[in-house]
Structure 1
Amino acid sequence: MEYSGMLPLLLLAAFSVAGAAVTHPFATNYTNDILRLAKAAHIKAYMGEDPDRACDNFYDFACGNWPRLHPARIHNHKTNYLEELQELYIRKSADMLKSSARSADSSADRILKNFFNSCCLQANDTRSALTTVLLEATDFRGGWPEIRVPSWYQYEYDWLKVVATLKRQLGVDIFIGLDVIVDYKEEHMHRIKLGAPALPLGQRRHYLDGRYQGTRDLYRRSIQQKLMLYFPEQSKQWLKEVSEQVLGIEEQLAQGLPHNAALTLEQTTRQRTAADMKSAYGSYVDISRYLQLIFSDTLYVDIYETPEDYLSNLVDVIRGTPKLHLANYTIWRTLDFLDAARIPQSVQPDIWCIKLTQRHFPQQLESLFHRNYNNMQMINELQSTWTDIKRVFREDLQASERLHWLSQETRQKAISKLESLQLQFRSHDDQQLIRKLHGLQLQAKQFYPNLLAVLQWETQRRLAKLMQDPVAEDRVLHKLPHYELKSNKIQVPITFLQARFFWDPAYPNALKYGTLGVLLARQMLHGFDGEGRRYDAHGYQNNWWDYTSESSYARRSQCFQEQYAIFVQYREKPVQDKQLLRRIVADNGALDIAYRAYTKWLKNSAETMASYQRERLPLLDYSNLQLFYLAYAQLYCSDYPETLERYEELPEQLRINAALSNSQQFTNAYSCSSGSALNARFKCTLY
């Protein structure tokens, strides 16, 4: 039976019925039946064709059909199940911003709606982008050389002033990359990071290695095609010359990039003053003047220069390149930067525009979403599941049998840290968000003037951070629950609180513990792993483990390291997971803890035939315990594009199968024989 076509119809029926007011008991039961049927179809649609593979490759058993339904080759990036939660957030937000203005809308809400709606109307108006923003809002002394002013005089062209102006107005980095970052040495202050901009092809080898000549040819042709879109009246010869100039300059710039792309910021950075850099690079690349033009002030601060060889190479590029070519490259990079807002042919305009809105106004969109889709039931379920997860782990710490490798003293400190560990639901101060947007005026039908205003507003806020203390805004906004070492809290984003994605009262609780329970347990265990043990219950850096516990942890984690050591490549591509041990410790521990939390809940619930029947689903001939593992595995259904060069994280298939091979409960649930691939003879355990 083909379920992929059936799935949208079932879900539509389910949500339509569930959305109606239900008061009669018969209607309630009917609604629950529809929701359960839809969820079962949803699970079945992703499963592979061979049910006998469960004990040999459970990931393929649970997610075998995912690549066909969500192929990475179409999106040209990784697809995965958890990202579907973000897609649901995007679709709901688009519907929300399409609605007409209301009297209850704040000024921030109106700005979001104007930006979104103007994007849907005008984002593909290339003439507006060219004339309203590129040629009018930025002064190129008459526009693109030899297009609007054939008598362009190169001696008047001041490349440094032009790129500094563009950085200040639009935030675009050309020739010089500049950002204000939290100082990685002293986290209480900001620092200027200055050096190489992000080049379109990325790493040095993509520009200079002969093996990537095909990639460079494709890139050059894409430049020609985009130029033709904006300048259809220009000759093929002009299009060819400019595209060759762009690629040629970037090949020269790439010579200043590190040979080893895996080096960290700390490894490729040196700390210098603007005066030092002025002395080093002189008038060809006058860093003091560049910073003065951007900040309207002379800066006497230390700067992080990265990578170390880039600016000295830039001096050679500026010295040896005709000014006409520098001007062509500068305007091309600006045009390409603005063109990123244009809606791709393969994407629906409203989906593209809501993602653009999210990129520029992430907190404001979350706040509006929360006010429109506030789901207290989901918050209550998360809190309830979290209580059960904590209870299981607390009992483990209190009993000496299960975690006997931890000393009594360390276990007591672990209990203290666990008691302090809380869920924190991310929220925003609406009045503060309104104040942040003060002075930003957007029109409902003028997208590119709106985009220009937003870019200027964003850039000024980003540059102003240099004189401000770092605050929570500087932290990465995670899409899923995330444990923070320095606060000892699990941050839960608003977008995570969406009904019927992980759980609904109509679903079996096996699904809730296999998804929400596992995700919460994973984050919890990050507070008690090799890195988390260095931070105490209050988030202060303080190693609270004794030597005996540390030694025992190292010995037991060695089992995992040896077990996972074979995963150095996947599908003939290298796996380079820098957080591998943290990941596998959390994977294995969370699966076991969530499973035991579920079985404890099941034991404490009314043990009747009806309750056990509720823990199963139609269409799926699986027990409640088997459903728990199905839900867990499908959390990580993924597909990778063929263009991927290496895996930065352990691929999901390896993560799921290896964790299950260590679980005796999984072996029992699916009756795996002793010779099965997922019934490991020696099972690694830690938490």
Structure 2
Amino acid sequence: MLLRGLLLGLLVGCCWANPSSGRPFANNYTTDILRLAKAAHIKAYMGEEAVHDDVEPCDNFYNFACGNWPRLHPAKLHNKRTGYLEELQELYVRKSAEMLKSPTRGVDSSADRQLKQFFSSCRSQANDTRSALAVLLEVTDFRGGWPEIRVPSWYSYEYDWLQVVALLKRRMGIDILLGLDVVLDYKEERMHRLKIGAPKLPLGQRRYYLDEAYSGDRERYQQQIVQKLKMYFPKQSQIWLDEVAHQILHIEQQLAKGLPHNPTLTLEQTTRQRTAADMKAAYASYVDVSRYLELIYNDTLYVEVYETPEDYLSNLVDVVRSTTKLELANYTIWRALDTLDAARIPEGVQPEIWCVQLTKKYFPQQLESLFHRNYNNMEMINDLQSTWADIKQVFREDLQASENLHWMTQETRQKAIGKLDRLELQFRSHNDVELIRYMRGLNLHGDRFYQNLVQVLQWRTHHLLAKLMEEPELVDQVYKTPQYILTSNKIRVPITFLQARFFWDPAYPNALKYGTLGFLLARQMLHGFDATGRRYDSHGYQNNWWDVTSESSYQRRTQCFQEQYAIFVQFKNKPVRDKQLMKRIVADNGALDIAYRAYQKWLKNTAETAAIYDRERLPLLDYSHNQLFYLATAQMYCTDYPDSVDIFDELPEQLRINTALSNAQPFVNTYSCSYGDKLNARFKCNLY
């Protein structure tokens, strides 16, 4: 409540004190309100224990900085991870809601209007189950639709399951019984290839369907099916509801037998390349892959496809042979209904927020483009560029001074300087003309949500399937934070990252800017100089520019990190399996040091030092400017995980922050850590 009250005070203060008014009092008042709100923000996450010195920063700095995060943002509420950086995305969603609610103007492009129509229809109709069912029965207008409900007399011999699932794939993009995708060729990246095999099952991996340990999960899943069916068919008997739900789970259990026993196997390890004709010969008419592709593409395809996983289709033959057509029909239309139901607003979620999330899901680039035109923040861009110049300069000086990076030969350091000089920030932008052209064919209406949804699903599927005949293009991915791109030697900065007052504002201490923006930029910069980045030169071409001596030295020095982090095989009694662990370690430890030294350099070069030191502190917080730097960095990684997590695919944030700080002597000095404290490592690992 304190945090919310102060943030409200921030908004009121900004309204009362307009920085453009030219009045010193107004400017000072606004600055004081912003600083007070930011201090309350930091203090709220630290929690009462940290504030009252019950948590020692040298013992567990993550808990010191983030001790109150799980109470303020509990993961158990939504059964998904919560994190500080995710809050930036939530801010983007809230701003997008206001933007999409605004009336259509003459300056809006046709793409903007489509987004607003989709959003408006979602707000008004997303929970209209009757409309969803009517649209479904219209789209799936085949004999026997839903046997007991669609037609009283249902003749099983008329039911063609392959034709039905092909129709639903084309019209709604749903993978039922068969999964179909267009992917890059594993060996030839200049062409696409069809991938056919297992669809994504709702419970996921094989063990969730077949292992006794997950029987409780299966029971809950079956009850969820019953509840959904009851919502759409309130007049049906409980016996029918239970029977259909049982059929659905049973079929998925049988399908799961064709999934890999080892879920850690890569796609390449579970895939084989075959022609459609070979697959037809292997699986006969029970799973006629050639006919399925003809129904999808309206043409005969003479191409080799990827079959994955290898045992799935042969298992599907057994499922089709042993399952009655009535059960297959029930399952097929249930999967279509469940797809539409997934768009229904969940209980406890604000309709506007949910509808923005759906808009973002289906039109990510178009929404970003609209956001950029409404919230273009040049001040944030300038601050980011300035911070980047400082980070880059510190690293450049390290590369020039042989004593700092003595493990790297002079020749390799010169090449590293060349790569660093060409490394630039690239602010994400969109070609609005291309986005409008890409959306051609959509005609959305503000009062027809489920018709809109089906139209969007069909539109997306059309673009996906058409990729088979197109030459691959560089995928313009949507990132949440700055991302280093190996093939261009650029750090791409997302539009949504450039939101005022989240990380930085001119009213805040610069310690926060270097501890957040500086740290994130330094992390991405170092990805160009790690074990993967060294294989790509300054132009983004694959070219290992390190010599043997530097590579050997790198391996020896990273061995220290490997031994230090080797103990982290579990966290909260759950296994940790981070395939990118060394990449993460090098970036975390190096960025923390570089960002801190960039901040110290800024302090040293700033005039009016006494006044600056006072400005570098915050009200409510009895911490020095250097202590604020480390608080800002740690709080970026405040996180809470739900109990449902089985495996940590990335090293948990608590372990990342604490271990990196234990290697940082400036942190030890700043918080006066004693010999023997947990975060004062006896042997400190360092690389950059």
Q: TM-score range by the shorter chain?
A: over 0.9
Residues of 1 paired with 2:326 and 2:556: CA distance? Answer: 64
Deviation string, structure 1 residues 471-529 (Cα, Å, up to 9, x no partner): 23x35321111111111111111100100000000001100000000000000000100
Query: In the TM superposition, what is the alpha-carbon distance from 1:15 to its structure 2 partner?
Result: 4.8
> What residue is the counterpart of 1:530 in the other structure?
531
In structure 1, the partner of 2:45 is 46
Deviations 1:49-106 (A, max 9, x none): 1335111000000000000000000011000000000000000000000111111111
Give per-residue Cα distances to partners, 1:340-366, cap 9 Å, x unaligned. Answer: 100001100000000000001111100
Give the whole-Å Cα distance in 2 for the aligned partners of 1:226 and 1:12: 42
Q: How does 1:187-336 map to 2 (within 5 A)?
A: 187-336=189-338
Q: Does 1:13 align with 2:12?
A: yes
Question: What is the correspondence of 1:653-668 to structure 2 with a 5 Å cutoff?
Answer: 653-668=654-669
Which residue is equivalent to 1:483?
Answer: 484
Alignment-derived partner of residue 76 in structure 1: 79
Residue by residue, what CA displacement relative to the aligned partner does 1:193-240 show, whole Å, maximum 9, x if unpaired? 111000000000000001111000000000000000000010000001
The equivalent residue for 2:607 is 606
Alignment of 1:22 onto 2:24: no
- RMSD over aligned Cα, in angstroms? 1.2
1:469 aligns with 471
Q: What SS does the corresponding residue of 2:346 show, helix, strand or coil?
A: coil
Mapped to 2, the partners of 1:294 and 1:277 lie a distance apart of 17
Q: Following the alignment from structure 2 to structure 1, what is the Cα–Cα distance between the partners of residues 657 and 13?
A: 30
Q: Amino acid of the residue matched to residue 283 of structure 1? A: S
1:387 is aligned, of 371, 375, 389, to 389
Matched, 1:591 2:592: yes
After superposition, the Cα gap between the structure-2 partners of 1:431 and 1:655, relative to the gap in structure 1 and judged at 3 Å, is same
Q: CA deviation at 1:191?
A: 1.4
Superposed CA offset, 1:371-424 (max 9, x none) = 000001111111111111110000000100010000011101111111111111
Matching of residue 64 in structure 1 with residue 67 in structure 2? yes
Residue 87 (str. 1) matches residue 90 (str. 2): yes
8 Å CA contact 2:119, 2:359 repeated in 1: yes
Paired AA for residue 24 in structure 1: R
CA distance in 1, matches of 2:147, 2:635: 55
- SS of the residue corresponding to residue 577 of structure 2 reads coil
Q: How far apart are 1:28 and its partner, in Å? A: 0.6
- How far did 1:20 drift? 6.8
Q: Percent identity?
A: 73
Output the CA distance in 2 between the equivalents of 1:19 and 1:645: 50
CA distance in 2, matches of 1:446, 1:646: 41
Q: Is the 8 A contact 2:663 2:685 kept in 1?
A: yes
1:503 matched residue in structure 2: 504
| Counterpart contact for 1:7–1:45, Cα < 8 Å | no
Residues 324-473 of structure 1: pairs in structure 2 closer than 5 A:
324-472=326-474
Deviations 1:541-596 (A, max 9, x none): 11111111011000000000000011100111110000000001100000000000
Counterpart in 2 of 1:124? 127
Residue number in structure 1 paired with 2:552 = 551
Corresponding residue pairs, total: 684
Q: Does 1:107 align with 2:101?
A: no
Q: Decide whether the 8 Å contact of 1:192 with 1:304 is kept in 2.
A: yes
Query: CA distance change for structure 1 residues 18 and 573 in 2, over 3 Å: closer, same or farther?
Result: farther
Gaps of 5+ in 2: none
Bigger Cα displacement from structure 2, 535-544 vs 9-18: 9-18
Which secondary structure state, in structure 1, belongs to the residue aligned with residue 261 of structure 2? coil
Q: Distance in 2 between matches of 1:571 and 1:22?
A: 53
Cα separation, 2, equivalents of 1:19 and 1:278: 72
Match of 1:153 in 2: 155
Structure 1 gaps of 5+ residues are none
Give the distance between the partners of 1:419 and 1:298, measured in 2 at CA: 52
Q: Distance in 2 between matches of 1:115 and 1:516?
A: 35
Distance 2:21 2:569 in 1: 54
After TM superposition, give the deviation of residue 170 of structure 1 in Å: 0.4
CA distance in 2, matches of 1:535, 1:565: 28
Which amino acid is the alignment partner of residue 273 of structure 1? Answer: T
Q: What letter matches 1:279 in structure 2?
A: A
